[in-house]
Amino acid sequence: MEMKMLKSLGWEVNAITPYSYVELIEWELKQHFKPIDRSTLDEILLAFSLDAKLLEYRPCVIAVSALRCILEDENCLSHITNFIPIDQKKKIQPCYNKMQEILVGYQKTESNRNPSSPDTVLIKELQTPISMEHIDLSFMDGPTMKEKLKRKRDVQHDDDCVIMNKKYHV
Domains of the chain: 15-117 (1.10.472), 124-168 (no CATH)
Q: Are 102 and 48 in contact (CB under 8 A)?
A: yes
Average pLDDT (116-145) is 53
At residue 163 the predicted structure's pLDDT band, cuts being 50, 70 and 90, is very low
Q: Are 72 and 119 in contact (CB under 8 A)?
A: no
pLDDT score recorded for residue 168: 47
Q: How far apart are the first and last CA of the chain?
A: 54
Most confident of 3-12, 36-45, 94-103: 94-103
- pLDDT above 70: percentage of residues in the chain: 58
167 vs 147, more confident = 147
Whether 87 has a pLDDT exceeding 50, the answer reads yes
Type and span of the H or E element at 159: none
Q: What is the pTM of this model?
A: 0.54
Distance (Å, whole) CA 116 – CA 63: 34
